[in-house]
Each structure stands twice: as structure tokens, then as C-alpha cells.
């Protein structure tokens, strides 16, 4: 019988790569310190908020069965690592934009999307930057490391284990 790759749904695949792109751009456009207040990185906010916008239908699609079952042939420990790892990635995809939005509000910076101001999530705090802003900035570095390891794992599956993991996430 011909070998058949079990793919994620097309919708989830598109959302996965769009999300990775937005996270990468948000990260590249991130700034810290007093410069953020003086000259808010509006594109950092917008790409970050896009991540939040994309994760909502993605979780819906996942709950609706858009993800194939994990490769039953792979070692149980690797399957567990994938489950936990993916859960942590989803957590960051939700927590990063929300803490960023909250941090901007706490710093007294208006968050605008194409010139339209979004509501502040909290009142400005004194002195800046505040706990959530610190959490967000540190979280950004942690996220990069985790997402990087995740990408490396995908490449390890593809080139070393030579299984279908990466193909599952391609159209
Ligand atoms: C996946 C999405 C996001 C990632 C990966 C991310 C990443 C980062 C990183 C790494 C920093 C620290 C930069 C530095 O110190 O040089 C930062 C700072 C910041 N981000 Fe984000 N961010 C995201 C989403 C957002 C969103 C949606 C907002 C606001 C709506 C936001 C608002 C801010 C603010 C205000 C700071 C400055 C905090 C401070 O000065 O202490 N971020 N972000
Ligand atoms: C910021 C960057 C990234 C984020 C936030 C991210 C997030 C995720 C999440 C949450 C899942 C689990 C999907 C689910 O089961 O519902 C996933 C799966 C996957 N990701 Fe990523 N990803 C990123 C970058 C990458 C990169 C760079 C690669 C490849 C080099 C990659 C390859 C894969 C593959 C192959 C899967 C499917 C794994 C499986 O079949 O179980 N991802 N990603």
C-alpha cells in the first residue's frame, strides 16, 4: 500500500506559518526601555496583535479536529515532549500579545491598529515599566528559544529521523 502522510488541515497549516511569520516580525520590531514610550513601535504592536487574532480560530480548528494524531510510531517520550511543547507554544501565543497590550497600557502608550486606538487594559503605573512589562520582555526571549528549539526538532525529525513530521505541516 502507498505510504500516506497525515496532514494538518490546510487551514491550520496556513495559520501555523502565518503565525510563525508574525511572531518573527514582532520579535524583530520589538523595543524596550524609554524609547518605547517616546516613539511607540506601532508595527510591533500590530504584528503581535495579529498573533492573538490568528491563535483564536487556530485553537477552534484544533478542537474541531484539524490536527492529525501524533505519529504512533515515534517513542512515547518524544510524543509526550511534543504534546507538552506544543501546549507551551500555544500558551505563549496567547500570553505574549496579552501581556504586551497590558504592558503598553501600563506604560501609558496607546495601542493603535492602522490609526484606530484600542482600549487600554489597565491604568498607567508609576514608576514604569512595571512587572507585566518585564514579564513580557523576558517572555519574548524565552519564547524565541522555545520556538527555535521547536523548529530545530522539526528539522531533526525531517533530516535525522526521516519521518513525516515536517510534511504534516506542509501543504
Ligand atoms: C507574539 C507577540 C509578541 C512578541 C514575541 C513580543 C516580544 C517583545 C520583546 C522581545 C520585547 C522586549 C524588547 C527589548 O527589550 O528590547 C517586547 C517589548 C514590548 N512589547 Fe512586545 N511582543 C509581542 C506582542 C506585543 C503586543 C501585541 C504588544 C502591545 C499591544 C506589545 C507591546 C510591547 C511593549 C509596550 C514593550 C516594551 C516593554 C518595556 O519597555 O518594558 N508586544 N516585546
Ligand atoms: C514562532 C514560531 C513557531 C511557533 C509559535 C510554532 C507553533 C507550533 C504549534 C503550537 C504547533 C502545534 C500545532 C497543533 O498540534 O495544534 C506546531 C506544530 C508544528 N510546527 Fe511549529 N511553530 C513555529 C515555528 C516552526 C518552524 C520554524 C518549523 C519548522 C522548521 C515548525 C514546524 C512545525 C511542525 C512540523 C509541526 C507539526 C508537528 C506535529 O506533527 O506534531 N514550526 N508549531
Question: Residue 16: inside a domain, yes or no?
Answer: yes
Residue 115 has a pLDDT of: 94
How many residues are given for the chain? 171
Residue range 68-85: mean pLDDT, rounded: 91
Q: Does residue 2 form part of some domain?
A: no
Q: What percent of the chain has pLDDT over 70?
A: 99
Euclidean distance between CA atoms 137 and 117, whole angstroms: 22
The x, y and z cell numbers of residue 40, run together, are 511607540
The DSSP symbol for 125 reads: -
List residues bridging with 77 in a β-sheet: none
- The answer to whether the CB of 40 falls within 8 A of the CB of 115 is no
Q: What is the pLDDT of residues 15-42, one digit of tens each?
A: 999 999 999 999 999 999 889 999 999 9
Q: Looking at residues 92-120, what average pLDDT do you find?
A: 97
Let me know if residue 3 belongs to a domain.
no
What is the CB < 6 Å shell around ligand 2? Answer: 16, 19-20, 23, 62, 67, 70, 82, 86, 89-90, 93, 147, 150-151, 154-155, 165-166, 168-169
Model confidence at 106, pLDDT cuts 50, 70, 90, reads very high
Cell of 77: 517520550
Owning domain of residue 115: 10-168
Give the model's pLDDT for residue 38: 93
Q: CATH code at 124? A: 1.20.950
Q: What is the mean pLDDT of the chain?
A: 95
Residue 164 CA, closest ligand 2 atom number: 40
Total tally of structural domains belonging to the chain: 1
Q: Which of 91, 89, 104, 85 is nearest to 144 (CA)?
A: 89
Amino acid at each position: 500500500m502507498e505510504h500516506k502522510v497525515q496532514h494538518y488541515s490546510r487551514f491550520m497549516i496556513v495559520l501555523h506559518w502565518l503565525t510563525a511569520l508574525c511572531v518573527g516580525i514582532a520579535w524583530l520590531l520589538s523595543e524596550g526601555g524609554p524609547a518605547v514610550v517616546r516613539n511607540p513601535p506601532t508595527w510591533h504592536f500590530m504584528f503581535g496583535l495579529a498573533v492573538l487574532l490568528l491563535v483564536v480560530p487556530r485553537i477552534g480548528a484544533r478542537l474541531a479536529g484539524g490536527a492529525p494524531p501524533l505519529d504512533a510510531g515515534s517513542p512515547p517520550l518524544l510524543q509526550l515532549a511534543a504534546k507538552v511543547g506544543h501546549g507551551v507554544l500555544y500558551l505563549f501565543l496567547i500570553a505574549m500579545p496579552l501581556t504586551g497590550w497590558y504592558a503598553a497600557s501600563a506604560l501609558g502608550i496607546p495601542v493603535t491598529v492602522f490609526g484606530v486606538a484600542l482600549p487600554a487594559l489597565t491604568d498607567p503605573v508609576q514608576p514604569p515599566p512595571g512587572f507585566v512589562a518585564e514579564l513580557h520582555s523576558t517572555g519574548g526571549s524565552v519564547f524565541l528559544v522555545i520556538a527555535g528549539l521547536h523548529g530545530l526538532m522539526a528539522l531533526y525529525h525531517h533530516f535525522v529521523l526521516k519521518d513525516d513530521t515536517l510534511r504534516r505541516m506542509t501543504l
